[in-house]
A and B are shown apart, each in its own frame.
Chain A
Amino acid sequence: MKKSLLIALLIVSVAMSSVLFAAGAKEAAPAKEVYFLNFKPEIADVYETKIAPAFEKETGIKLKVVTAASGTYAQTLKSEIAKSNPPVIFQTNGPVGLAESKNYTADLKNTEFYKILSDKTMALGDGEKVLAIPYAVEGYGIIYNDAIMRKYFALPNKAVSIKSADEITNFATLKAVVEDMTKNKSALGIQGVFASTSLAAGNQWRWQTHLVNVPLYFEVRDANIAMGSKVPEIKFSYSANMKNIWDLYLNNSSTAVGLLGAKSVDDSMAEFALGQVAMVQNGNWGAGQILGVKGNKVSDADIKFMPIYTGAAGEEKYGLNVGTENYLCINSNASVEQQKMADQFLTWLFASETGKQFVKNDLMFITPFNTFKDSELPTDPLAKDVIRWMNKSGVSSIPWAFSMIPSEEWKNQFGAALADYSVGRKNWAEVEKVAVDAWKTEFKLTN
C-alpha cells in the first residue's frame, strides 16, 4: 500500500512538474511590457525614474527595470531567466559571458538597434548570427583632482622638478610625485594620495579585472596574441609592474592596509568626491558617483584622467584603458512581440531625441552608435577626458584584454591573493603563482 502510494506520488509529481514547467515557459508577460535586467547599479535610478516613464509616455509600453546588486549580475540573470516572466533585454560582458547565455540569445541581425551601430565589427556573434551589441564605450585610468595637484606643484619644498600633472608620463615620475605628496599630506589637506584600495567582498573588480589588464595587455601584445582570442596559459611576465603600482596604491592610501577589507568602491569614490584624496583608479562610469555625492568638493574642471603607469618599457605611448564590457542581448525565449518591443525600446533610447538626451545627460555613455553627433557626446568631465585621451596624438589606448580572462573564478582567486598580499599573508611570488596556476586550471575547466 505504502509503496504503491509512493510510486503513484512520484509519477504524479513528475507529470505535474513537466506540466508546470511547460506552462511556465509559455506563460506570457502582461501585455505591452518589456523587462530589462540592468547591470549598472550606479545608474539604476535614471532608468527607473526618468527613462521608463518617458518611454511609456511616448509609446505606451511599460518598461520594467530590475537591477542586480553589484557583482551579482550573472547569478541574478541565471535565476531570472528561468522564471516564467524572464527578462527580455539583458546584458553580457563579452565573449565569456555570452558563451554562457548563448542558448537563449536572439539573433539581432534584422533589428533596428543593430542598424544604428556604427562599427558593425564591434558586435559579438556566433557564425552568421549577431548576438550582442555594445552600447557604451568606456575608459578607465587614474582619476585625479587637479586642484590638489596644482596645490602640490605650488609647494615650495616639492621634491620633483615637473610642474603639472600633465607631465607625469611614466611610473618613475608618478611614484616620485605620489610619495612626495604623501610626505606633504597635511600641507595638502588630504588623508592620502590614493583613495582606499577597496577589498570588500564584491568590490575587488578595480584590481582583479581592471588593474591587471595593464600587465595582461603588455603580455599578450608581446606574444602577438589578438584581442579576444583564447589564451590557455599566461606567464604573468609583467607581474613586477603589477606589484609596482599595487604597492604604490597600498602604501599611499587614505586607509591603513589592514582596514581595506571593509572598504567598498563607493567609499573610495566618496573620499575622492569629498576632496580627502587626490587620486582614485576608476572609469568614466564613476562620474555620477563623484558629481552626485552630497557635499562634493571637486569642481568639474578639476576632474581629470591619467593612464595607469606601471613601469613597463614604452608606457609613455599608452593612454587609458578603453573598451567595452557592456553588450545588450535579447532573450530568444521571449515572445516575438516582446522581442520587437525590446528592439523598439533600445532604438528609442539610442536614436530618438528624447532617448539621446537621457543617454547624454543622465546615463553619460560614450556610445558607439551613428545616431549621435559630435555635439551630442556626453558632457561629464570624465567622459570628455576619455574622449580627449582617445584622440590624443602619439598615444594609443590600451584595449580591454581582461575579456580574455578564462572565468570569474580566476578573478576571484586573484583578488583574494591580492588581498592576502596586502595584509602580509602571501608574498608576491605566491600571488604570481595563483595568477598563473589558476589561469591554467580555469582555462581547462571552461574550454
Chain B
Amino acid sequence: MSALPQAGRILHLSWESVMQKSIQKYFVLFALPGLICFAIAFLIPMVMGVVLSFFKFTTVTDGTFIGIENYKRIFINNDFTSALWFTVKFTVVSVITINLGAFTLAMLLTRGIKGTNAFRTIFFMPNLIGGIVLGWIWQVIINGVLLPRGVTIVSDPKYGFWGLVVLMNWQNIGYMMVIYIAGIQNISHDLIEAAQIDGANKVTMLRSVILPSIMPSITICSFLTLTNGFKLFDQNLALTAGDPGKQTEMLALNIFNTFYGRSGFEGVGQAKAVIFTIIVAFIALTQLRLTRSKEVEA
C-alpha cells in the first residue's frame, strides 16, 4: 500500500519534469518571434545608442572610439543644464495642473449631470490631435492673444513656458480625466454609503474615501504626465522651437538639435540621450515606488 502513492509521486514528478524539459526545450523557439521584434525595435538601437555615445561619428555606421570625451563635451556650455532646468520647471508645473484639472473634471463628470457623455468626448478629443499640429495651432492662438501687446510667443521665454503649459494641459487633461473617471466609478457604493451613514462630509469623503480608493489612477496619471513632460518634443518644436535663443528648449529638443544641428556633435547628442534616458528611468521608477506604497486595497 505504502508503495503505491510513492510510485504515483514518482510518476507525477517525472511527468512534471518531462513537461518542464519540453517547455525548456521549446521556450526559446516560441519566444523567438517576440524576442526578435524586441531586439530589432528596442534592444539593438538601445545598445547601439549607448555604444555610439563613446564614439565620434557623422553617420551611425562609421565612427572612432574616443572614450568619455562626448560626456565631457556636454558641459562645455550650459545648454544642457539650462534645458534640464527648464524641463524640470515645466514638468513640475504641468504635472500639478494637468492632474488637478483632470481630477476636477472627473469629479464633475461622475455626478450624473446631463450631457456627461458628450462632455467626456469633447474633453478627450484634443488628445487625438498630433503634437506638431497642436503646436502650430497654439502658436497662432497665443500670437493672436499677444498681438495687442506688440509681442509674440518668442519675444520672452516666459510666454513660451506658459504657452507650453497651456498646450499640454489642453491636450492631456481629457486623457487623464478618462483614467480618473474609471477610478472613481470603480469605488464601491457600499463604501460610499457607509461613509455617508457615518456622517462624513464632502471634504472627509474626498480625503478619506475617494482619494485612497483611486490611488492606482493617481499613480498611472502622475506617471504618465511626468514622463510625458520630460520627454516632450513635438509640441516644443512646433510652438517655439526653443526660441528665443534656446531659452525655451527642453531636453529632447536640445538633444535633437545637438545631434542634427551641430557638425561634429553627433556623439555629444548621443551622450546627452544616454544621460536623458537614465534620468527619465530613475525619476519614473522612484515616482512609481512612492505612489505604489500609498495604494490601498478597497
Could you list which residues of chain A lie within 8 angstroms of chain B, going by C-beta atoms?
1, 5, 9-10, 12-14, 16-17, 21, 24-25, 72, 74-75, 78-79, 81-82, 96-97, 99-101, 103-104, 199-202, 256-262, 407-409, 412-413, 416-417, 419-420, 423, 425, 441, 445-446
The residue from A13, A75, A79, A103 contacting B62, defined by CB atoms under 8 A apart = A103
Among residues of A, the one whose C-beta sits closest to the C-beta of B260 is A75
Contact (Cβ within 8 A) A408 B62: no
Q: Are A82 and B61 in contact (CB-based, < 8 A)?
A: yes
B58 lies within 8 A of A420 (CB): no
In the complex, whether B60 has a CB less than 8 A from a CB of chain A is: yes
| Complex contact B154–A261 (CB within 8 A) | yes
Instruction: Give the complex CA separation of A10 and B48 in angstroms.
Output: 11
Nearest B residue (CB) for A76: B260
Whether A446 lies near B150 (C-beta < 8 A) is: no
A261-B154, A262-B152, A416-B243 given; name 15 further pairs at CB < 8 Å: A10-B43, A13-B43, A25-B61, A78-B59, A78-B260, A82-B60, A101-B58, A104-B59, A257-B150, A261-B244, A413-B245, A416-B246, A419-B243, A423-B244, A445-B264
Cα distance, A101 to B264, chains bound together (Å): 11
17 contacts between A and B (CB under 8 A): A17-B44, A74-B260, A75-B260, A78-B59, A100-B58, A199-B154, A201-B241, A201-B243, A258-B149, A258-B151, A258-B155, A259-B147, A261-B243, A416-B246, A423-B151, A445-B76, A446-B263
A409→B263 CA distance, assembly (Å): 9
Count of A-B contacts with CB under 8 A?
110
B193 an interface residue at 8 Å Cβ cutoff?
no
| Identity of the chain A residue whose Cβ is nearest the Cβ of B159 in the assembled complex | A261
Determine whether B156 belongs to the interface, using a CB cutoff of 8 Å to chain A.
yes
Is B298 part of the contact surface with A, judged by Cβ < 8 Å?
no
> Contact between B48 and A17 (Cβ–Cβ < 8 Å)?
yes
Given known A-B contacts A9-B35, A16-B39, A420-B245, A262 and B143 have beta carbons under 8 A apart: yes
Point out the residues of chain B lying under 8 angstroms from A9, CB to CB: 35, 39, 43
Which of B24, B76, B261 gathers the greatest number of chain A CB atoms within 10 Å?
A: B261
Provide the residues of chain A in CB contact with B62, threshold 8 Å. 103
Would you call B39 and A13 a contact (CB within 8 A)?
yes
A419 to B264, CA, bound (A): 26
Residue of chain B at shortest CB distance from A102 = B58
Residues of B within 8 A of A (CB): 24, 28, 35, 39-40, 43-44, 47-48, 58-62, 76-77, 143, 147, 149-156, 240-246, 260-264, 266
Contact of A423 among B39, B155, B261, B264 (CB under 8 A): B155
Contact A75 B261 (CB under 8 A): yes
**Bound-state Cα–Cα, A72 to B61, Å:** 22
A165 to B188, alpha carbons, bound, how many Å? 84
User: Smallest CB-CB separation from B147: which chain A residue?
Assistant: A259
Chain B residue nearest in CB terms to A83: B59
Q: Which 3 A-B pairs have the closest CB atoms?
A: A416-B245, A75-B260, A261-B154
Q: How far, in Å, is A292 (CB) from chain B's closest CB?
A: 24
| Chain B residues whose CB sits within 8 angstroms of the CB of A5 once the complex forms | 28
Bound state CA distance, A441 and B78, in angstroms? Answer: 13
Chain B residues lying within 8 Å of A21, measured Cβ to Cβ, are: 61
**Is the pair B244, A82 in contact by a Cβ cutoff of 8 Å?**
no
With A100-B264, A261-B244 as given contacts, are A82 and B155 in contact (CB-CB < 8 Å)? no
Q: How far, in Å, is A51 (CB) from chain B's closest CB?
A: 28
Minimum C-beta distance from B76 to chain A (A) = 7
Shortest distance from the beta carbon of B267 to any chain A beta carbon, whole Å: 13
| A13 with B58, Cβ < 8 A, contacts A261-B153, A425-B156 known | no
**Within the complex, what minimum Cβ distance (angstroms) separates B244 from chain A?**
6
CA distance A416 to B61 in the complex (A): 34
How many Å lie between the Cα of A251 and that of B153 in the bound state?
21
Could you say which residues of chain A place their CB within 8 Å of the CB of B61? Answer: 21, 24-25, 82
Q: Closest CB-CB distance, A265 to chain B, in whole Å?
A: 15
Q: A13-B47, A74-B263, A446-B264 are in contact. Are A258 and B58 (CB under 8 A)?
A: no
Complex CA distance for A100 and B264, rounded to whole angstroms: 8
Residues of A contacting B35 in the complex (Cβ-Cβ under 8 angstroms) = 9
Residue contact B152 to A261, C-beta cutoff 8 Å: yes
| Min C-beta distance of A267 to chain B, whole Å | 13
Closest to A99 in B: B263
Least distance between B279 CB and chain A CB atoms (Å): 24
The reply to whether A258 and B245 form a contact with Cβ atoms under 8 Å apart is: no
Question: What's the Cα separation between A5 and B44 when bound, in Å?
Answer: 15
Which chain A residues lie closer than 8 Å to B153 at the CB level? 261-262
B59 contact set on A, CB distance < 8 A: 78, 81-82, 103-104
Q: Are A262 and B244 in contact (CB under 8 A)?
A: no
Identify the interface centre among B62, B143, B245, B260: most chain A CB within 10 Å of its CB: B245
A10–chain B nearest beta-carbon distance, Å:
7
* Nearest A residue to B263, CB-CB: A100
Alpha-carbon distance between A97 and B39 when the two chains are bound, in angstroms? 36
Nearest residue in B to A412 (C-beta to C-beta)? B261
CA distance in complex: A79, B57 (Å): 12
Question: Across the interface, which residues of B come within 8 angstroms of A16, CB to CB?
Answer: 39-40, 44
Question: Smallest CB–CB gap between B119 and chain A, Å?
Answer: 34
Most chain-B Cβ atoms within 10 A of its Cβ — which of A5, A12, A257, A259?
Answer: A259
Cβ contact of A10, chosen from B47, B151, B152, B262, cutoff 8 A: B47
Residue of A nearest to B43 (CB): A13
Query: With A9-B35, A419-B243, A441-B76 in contact, do A258 and B150 touch (Cβ < 8 Å)?
Result: yes
Does A13 contact B44, Cβ atoms closer than 8 Å?
A: yes
Q: How far is the CA of A104 from the CA of B61 in the complex (A)?
A: 13
Chain B residues positioned under 8 Å from A72 (CB to CB): 260
A282 to B116, CA, bound (A): 56
**Separation in Å of the B216 CB from the closest CB of chain A?**
29
Of B35, B59, B147, B260, chain A has the most CB atoms within 10 Å of the CB of B59
Residue ID in chain B nearest A262 by CB atoms: B152
- Bound-state Cα–Cα, A445 to B48, Å: 25
Contact B150–A259 (Cβ < 8 Å): yes
